Each structure stands twice: as structure tokens, then as C-alpha cells.
Amino acid sequence: MDNEFLKLTPIGMLTCVKGYAWDGPSGPAIDTSDWMRASLIHDALYQLMRLEFIPKSSREYADKLMKQLCIEDKMWRLRAEWSYQAVKICAERFSDSEYARKIIIAPKIKV
């Protein structure tokens, strides 16, 4: 799978290209350094599910990977578990192709 902002190799190497936009951790989550990498990868994987580049059955893996990355980045284990449980319970609809959004790119301006 290869598009302008995300690249996923057949062996599972995911690259988020410079310029890829994501909104950091969603919901009541607080944007902290121990959340950023996990939220980026999680959002990218969910986008790939919405676009049907990877199966929706990948959701459990994406959620568990998010938790693992949070812990690797020094998030308290209890907070990582709460975050994992929250996405496990609340995020299913965001992996559905019905939620796929058209990519809109802002025009370049001269300053």
C-alpha cells in the first residue's frame, strides 16, 4: 500500500511521510510526549482500515500496539491500560469505511 502520506510494506513496515496530518490523542486524552508516537501510528492504522487497505480485523492489533507504544514511551501502565480500554470500547466506528474522509489540502500562500 502506498499513497502520498502513508506507506505500508507487505512485511508491515509503516511510514508516515512528512506532511501527514493527525490530531494527536483523541477524546479526553491529554497530549503528552508519551502519547504522540502511539497516537500517530494508531490513527494511521485506523485510516488504512477506513480506506480498506488493511482489513478491519486489524483493529485489535492496532489497539494493542498503541498500548505497547505508550508503555515503551514511558507512559504509566495504568494510564496506558485505560487508554487501551477506551479505544477498545469506543473507537470501532472510526475503523469503518463509512468514516473515511476526503483529503483536503490547504492552498499554499506567500508570506
Tell whether 91 is covered by a domain.
yes
Mean local confidence (pLDDT), 7-22: 91
Tell whether 85 is covered by a domain.
yes
pLDDT, tens only, 32-44: 999 999 999 999 9
Helix (H) or strand (E) holding 26: none
Tell whether 77 is covered by a domain.
yes
Position 76 scores a pLDDT of 96
Tell whether 107 is covered by a domain.
no
Position 19 scores a pLDDT of 87
pLDDT, tens only, 57-103: 999 999 999 999 999 999 999 999 999 999 898 877 777 777 777 77
Position 90 scores a pLDDT of 86
Q: What stretches of the chain show up as alpha helix (H) in DSSP?
A: 33-50, 59-72, 77-90
In our burial notation (b when 16+ CB lie closer than 10 A, e otherwise), range 29-60 reads eeeeebbbebbbbbbbbbbbbbeeebeeebbe
Tell whether 104 is covered by a domain.
no
Give the domain range for residue 82. 6-16+24-99
Q: What's the structural domain count of the chain? A: 1
Q: Is the pTM of this model over 0.85?
A: no
* pLDDT beyond 80 at 27: no
With H, G, I as helix, E, B as strand and everything else as coil, classify residue 25: coil
Tell whether 106 is covered by a domain.
no
**1 or 24, greater pLDDT:** 24
